[in-house]
Amino acid sequence: MNKQRFALVGNPNSGKTTLFNALTGSNQFIGNWPGVTVEKKSGHLIGHPEVEILDLPGLYSLAANSLEEIIASKELTQNPPDAIINIVDGTNLERNLYMTTQLFDLGIPLILVINMADELRQEGISIDADKLSERIGYPVVAISALKGENIDKLTEHLLSPEITQNHPLKTDYGADIEAVIAQASGIIKPSFPESQLRYWSFRSLEPGFKQNLDQAQQLELQLLQEDYESSHDGDDLESTIAGLRYDKIDQLVSGTIHGSRKGELSFSDRVDQIVTNRWLALPIFVLVMVIVYGISITTLGTYLTDWTNEVLFGEIVPGFVSSLLEKMSVAEWLQSLILDGIVAGVGAVLGFVPQMLVLFFMLAFLEASGYMARIAFIMDRAFRKWGLSGKSFIPLLVGSGCSVPGIMASRTIEEESDRRMTVILTSFIPCGAKLPVIALFAGAIAGDALWVAPAAYFLGIAAVILSGLILKKTPRFKGEPSPFVMELPPYRLPGLKTVLRSTWERGWSFIKKAGTIILLSSIVIWALLRFGIENGSLATVEVLENSFMARLGSLISWMFRPLGWDSWQAAVATITGLVAKENVVNTFGILFGYAEVSESGTEIWANVAQHFGVLGGFSFLIFNLLCIPCFAAIGAIKREMNNAGWTWFALIYQSVFAYAVSFVFYQISNWALTQQFGFITILAILVVLGTIYFLVRPEKQKEVRNPHRNGVRA
C-alpha cells in the first residue's frame, strides 16, 4: 500500500485526541477542556506504518482567527492530506457540522466520524449514518472513541482504496451567494491554487482578509462585499453565509436523527442546575477547593509527606550519602556541600512530592470531569459584579499550575486594559511552586490545620478581586469588563489513565525542577553561607552571621520589621524565592538543617516555627504568596506587557500590595492578640481606611466603554 496521510480535524473537545490515541496507540494528553490539543501531532495507524495520522488542534471553523485555526488552516491548504478524518461530537451534531461545510469547500476527500455514539444511545438517540452518508457523499461512521466502539470499522474505511477517491460535496448556497463566490473566485484566481479556489473565495470574503492578495484585489473584494450588502438591505455578507451554512446542515441532517431529548435535560444539564446555580455555585466552588487543597496539603498529603520528610530525606538519604562519602574519604567541605547544601536543600523540596501528587491528581480529576470550565463560568458571574471579566479567570486557572503560562494565557483577552490587569493579577494565585511553602508553614506553625492551604488559595482570589477593584478605580483601567463567551463541555467520568498521566506529568516536572534549578540554587546558597568575611579576610566562616548570605539578608531585613519578621534568614529566603518559589523551602532546609542543627525534617520545621512565631510565620507566608513572582514569571510579565513602564508598574504594585496586606495582617492581629497599640498600629488602620475610602468614594465622571467593541467569536 502507498504512503497515505490523514488529517484528524474536529471541534474542541470532540474527542480528537482520544481517537488519535485509539488509532495510533499514542499516549497524548486528553482533557475534558476545550483547547487540549494546541499543536499538530503525528502518529501511524496501528499495524500500518505507511498510514500517517495527523492530529490537528480543535477548532470551530477554518476562519483563521485563533492560533489553532491558523495552524489547521495552513496544514490543510499548504500541505493537503490524502483525506480528512472529520470527527464530530454526535451530542452536538449541528454545531459541529458547521466546520464540516467549510471542509467540503476544500475539495479534499473526507470521512465523517460521529463520536460519542455511546452517549447518544444512553439518551435514546440514534443517527442514521447510511442516510447521512448518501446525502453528503462521504463515508460516515458512528463511533465511541473513549470505549473503542467501531474503531475497527473506521480503520477498514481508512485502509480501503476508495477513501482517497470520494468526491467532495458541492454545496449550493443559492443563486445570490454563488454569484458572489464566482466573482470572488475570479478576483483571487491568480493568487491561489485552482483546486482550492472555492475555499479561498469564502475566506476572502471574511473582514480584513489579506493573505496573498495585492491592494487591487483587496479593493475589488471590498467593493464586492459592499455591493452585496447594499443590494440586500445592509445584510452582513459573513453572517448571511454563516446562516446559509446552518440551513444546509438542517437539510443534511433532517430525518437522519431518530429519538429526541427535547424537553428532557441531559445529565450535565441536571448537574449544572445545582453546580452553576445562582446561589449554590460559589459555596460549592469554595467547598470543592477546601476539599482539594485541604486533603492534598494537610490530611492525606501530610500523612504521606511525613514519611518522605522525616524518614526518607531526614534519615535514609542523608545517612546513606554520609556513610558513602565517609568511606570514600571525601574532604569535609565537599561532604558539607553535598549533605548540608544539596541533600538538605533539594531534600526539603522533594519531601513535598507526595502532597504535590495528591493535589495534581485532584486537579486533573476536576479538569477532566468538566468542572474546571464551570469555575470560569461561575467566577465570570461573580467577577462581573466587581468590574472584572470571566476571561481574566482562565489565566488565573492556568496560573494555579504555573504563573508563566497563566500570564501568557492573558493574551486571549482583546481589551488592552483588562489584559494588562490580568497580567498583574495572575501571579497572586498560588502556583505549584508556592505549594511547598504553604505546606511547610501549614505544618510548622499551624499544626497541619485543614484551613491553611485552602485559605492560601482564597487569599489569592481575594487579592485578585481587591486589586481588580483598586485598579478599576484608576483612569488607566476604568471601563466595563470585556464580554466572555465559553462553551461548557459535558461532565464525564474521567478515565483513570488520563488522570494518572496528567498527575505524573506535572509531578515529574516538579521533581525535575528540584533536580535542576533547585539543585543549582542549593549549591549557591551553601557557598554564600559557608564563605564570608571573618576577622578581616575571606574565609570559611565559623559564625553564620559573618557569611555573605547573612550580610546580604541583613541589608534588607529591616524593611520587614513592621511585618513581624526581620531576620536575615527570612529576608534571604524571600530573595532566593525569586529564582524559584520552592527555594524558600530549599533555603530553610539548608539554613535550619545547616551545621548539624537538625537530624530530621521535623526538627527543621520546628526551628522554622520557633524562628517566626505564629503571626510572623503567617505574615511571611502572606508576603511570599503575594509579592513579585519568580524570575521566569517576571520575564513573562515583561514580554506580555511589552513596555518597561508597565512591567515596572506591575512589579511595584505586586510588592506594595503584598507589603500592605502582610503589614495590616500582622499589626491588626498583633493588636487583637496582645493588646499592644502604637503609632504603627494606627498606620495599619489608616491603610485599611484609606483603601476603603478609595473604593467607595463617589466618581466625578463615569466613562463607559462601548460593549460592542469587543466581538467574541464562540
Partner 1 sequence: MTWGTFFVGALLLIIVGLIIASMVRQKKENPECPSACYACPMARKCARAAKPNPLKPQGQ
Nearest to 651 by CA among 622, 627, 624: 627
Q: Which stretch binds partner 1 (CB under 8 A): 16-24, 371-379, 547-555, 628-636?
A: 628-636
Q: Give DSSP secondary structure letters for 55-116.
A: EPPP-S-SS--SHHHHHHHHHHHHS--SEEEEEEEGGGHHHHHHHHHHHHHHT--EEEEEE-
Q: Report the relative pairing of strands 126-127 and 257-258 from DSSP bridges.
A: antiparallel
Exactly one of 280, 382, 488, 519 binds partner 1 (CB under 8 A); that residue is: 519
Task: Report the C-alpha gap between 327 and 31 in whole angstroms.
Answer: 50
Size of the site for partner 1 (CB under 8 A): 56
User: Considering the complex, what minimum distance in angstroms separates the CB of residue 681 from partner 1?
Assistant: 41
Exactly one of 405, 495, 562, 613 binds partner 1 (CB under 8 A); that residue is: 405
Nearer to partner 1, 45 or 372 (CB): 372
Task: Report the C-alpha gap between 205 and 200 in whole angstroms.
Answer: 9
- Residue 436 in 3-state DSSP? helix
Q: Which stretch binds partner 1 (CB under 8 A): 2-10, 407-415, 594-602, 681-689?
A: 407-415
Nearer to partner 1, 328 or 696 (CB): 328
Exactly one of 634, 650, 651, 661 binds partner 1 (CB under 8 A); that residue is: 634
Exactly one of 164, 183, 299, 412 binds partner 1 (CB under 8 A); that residue is: 412
Helices and strands in the chain: count of H runs, count of E runs: 32, 10
C-alpha cell at 423: 497580567
Contact between 411 and partner 1 (CB under 8 A)?
yes
C-alpha cell at 326: 565517609
Contact between 404 and partner 1 (CB under 8 A)?
yes
Nearer to partner 1, 556 or 632 (CB): 632
| Grid cell 485598579 in the structure block, residue | 471
Contact between 517 and partner 1 (CB under 8 A)?
yes
Contact between 501 and partner 1 (CB under 8 A)?
no
DSSP annotation of 596: G
What residues numbered 196-255 form the site for partner 1, per CB under 8 A? 209-211
String of contacts with partner 1 for each residue 314-353, x by CB under 8 A: -----------x-xxxxx--x--xx---------------
Exposure b/e, 228-241, CB count within 10 A at least 16 = b: beeeeeeeebeebb
Q: Report the relative pairing of strands 48-55 and 41-45 from DSSP bridges.
A: antiparallel
Task: Report the C-alpha gap between 678 and 659 in whole angstroms.
Answer: 19
Nearer to partner 1, 124 or 515 (CB): 515
Contact between 294 and partner 1 (CB under 8 A)?
no
Exactly one of 264, 315, 505, 599 binds partner 1 (CB under 8 A); that residue is: 505
Task: Report the C-alpha gap between 24 and 51 in whole angstroms.
Answer: 10
Nearest to 397 by CA among 378, 373, 423: 373
Nearer to partner 1, 509 or 554 (CB): 509
Exactly one of 495, 562, 613, 635 binds partner 1 (CB under 8 A); that residue is: 635
String of contacts with partner 1 for each residue 69-88, x by CB under 8 A: xx------------------
Task: Report the C-alpha gap between 249 and 575 in whole angstroms.
Answer: 60
Task: Report the C-alpha gap between 162 and 141 in whole angstroms.
Answer: 15
Exactly one of 282, 286, 523, 668 binds partner 1 (CB under 8 A); that residue is: 523
Across 621-692, the runs of DSSP E, i.e. the strands, are none
DSSP annotation of 313: I
Nearest to 17 by CA among 713, 506, 501, 503: 501
Whether residue 114 contacts residue 143, with contact meaning beta carbons closer than 8 Å, is answered with: yes
Q: Which stretch binds partner 1 (CB under 8 A): 298-306, 395-403, 560-568, 609-617?
A: 395-403
Nearer to partner 1, 68 or 272 (CB): 68
Residues near partner 1 (CB under 8 A) are: 29, 35, 38-39, 64-70, 209-211, 325, 327-331, 334, 337-338, 360, 398, 401-402, 404-406, 408-409, 411-412, 414, 432, 505-506, 509-510, 512-513, 515-517, 519-520, 523, 631-636, 638-639
